[in-house]
Structure 1
């Protein structure tokens, strides 16, 4: 039996995304239904982790302190809906930094496993981009593409991954799960 763990990408899954990066706490705005979905998952006994590329840090668009403030806002809003994040893993590196944590590599997911002491195998990885899904598949997870954020664009481009569940948004996925 797989753990009741779900791993979520952040931008485009939990909150609105921007091609210009989410750079301030004010720009961090939850997608409709996402906080309710996180509350519902928590109430159903799921552990919830976030795996997010945040290259805006290495690019100098925002600081670690600003990222932490965005995550504090996310945690507070989830809490207002009975939701809880068990761990937030982020990659602060740029695409050319040669790290092992930037998705599509599974480093962030391994951080989640190590921190929570759980296996992600057969758990859901929810993302709006191919790199999110590839990171999940590399770690033995079941990929879920949401059409929010860059999800529609990802679908239009097409991809080779098999057995990808496609949902309108996080809320629809959670309603199907619990």
Structure 2
């Protein structure tokens, strides 16, 4: 008979991908100063939990402030470097710097960032879980064929939560989201 730990290990994803703003760090619109990076409480512990389990971690983030000229690519790189200083290294960073109306394939809710992150990690989206705080995170994961867990914040709209409950999972906090990611549970499993 399998133990719970054996079951979790067998079902664990190859990678867990995270949205950056309001999932890993406190959202500051168009953050250009690395000194403004503040991790979400518990983020470092949950990332270390995944790393200790041998799960690769990555970031998939829309950063349209670059296209709008509100932050430079160098400022974005400095902020992301500060995120790594505070939260540890990520196995991949996939960032869309296009504007909202550019029609790219990468800006969430499009699946490009998730597909590219999986490829960079040598896996496929179906073996990944994306944890984020808004509906476009969930939609990007679903469109790519990955699992998703929504962690609502005060900025998450009720319709985004309702959508996530239909196609993904919803967790009250990052710790529970990581537990769900490690469990292998998907919305399909919950509904059956």
Bucket of the pairwise TM-score, normalised by the shorter protein: 0.7 to 0.9
Residue 155 of structure 1 deviates from its aligned partner by: 3.4
TM-score by length of 1: 0.86
- For residues 8 and 14 of structure 1, the distance between their equivalents in structure 2, rounded to whole angstroms, comes to 7
- For residues 126 and 158 of structure 2, the distance between their equivalents in structure 1, rounded to whole angstroms, comes to 24
Q: Is the 8 A contact 2:64 2:99 kept in 1?
A: yes
- For residues 8 and 63 of structure 1, the distance between their equivalents in structure 2, rounded to whole angstroms, comes to 22
Is 1:96 the counterpart of 2:106? The answer is: no
- For residues 95 and 21 of structure 1, the distance between their equivalents in structure 2, rounded to whole angstroms, comes to 14
Residue 2 of structure 1 deviates from its aligned partner by: 6.6
What's the counterpart of residue 14 of structure 2? Answer: 4
The structure 2 residue matched to 1:154, chosen from 149, 152, 157, is 157
- For residues 17 and 138 of structure 2, the distance between their equivalents in structure 1, rounded to whole angstroms, comes to 11
- For residues 34 and 24 of structure 1, the distance between their equivalents in structure 2, rounded to whole angstroms, comes to 20
**Matched residue SS, 2:95:** strand
Q: Could you say if the C-alpha distance between residues 75 and 110 of structure 1 is closer, same or farther in structure 2, counting changes exceeding 3 Å?
A: same
Higher relative contact order (CA 8 A, sep 6+): 1
- For residues 107 and 22 of structure 1, the distance between their equivalents in structure 2, rounded to whole angstroms, comes to 23
What's the counterpart of residue 189 of structure 2? Answer: none
Is 1:61 the counterpart of 2:70? The answer is: yes
Q: Which runs of 5+ in 1 are unaligned?
A: none
Q: CA RMSD in A?
A: 2.0
**Matched residue SS, 2:76:** helix
TM-score by length of 2: 0.80
Residue 113 of structure 1 deviates from its aligned partner by: 2.1
Residue 93 of structure 1 deviates from its aligned partner by: 0.5
**Matched residue SS, 2:130:** strand
- For residues 85 and 57 of structure 1, the distance between their equivalents in structure 2, rounded to whole angstroms, comes to 21
What's the counterpart of residue 36 of structure 1? Answer: 45
Greater share of helix: 2
What's the counterpart of residue 125 of structure 1? Answer: 130
What's the counterpart of residue 121 of structure 2? Answer: 116
Is 1:16 the counterpart of 2:21? The answer is: no
- For residues 174 and 157 of structure 1, the distance between their equivalents in structure 2, rounded to whole angstroms, comes to 20
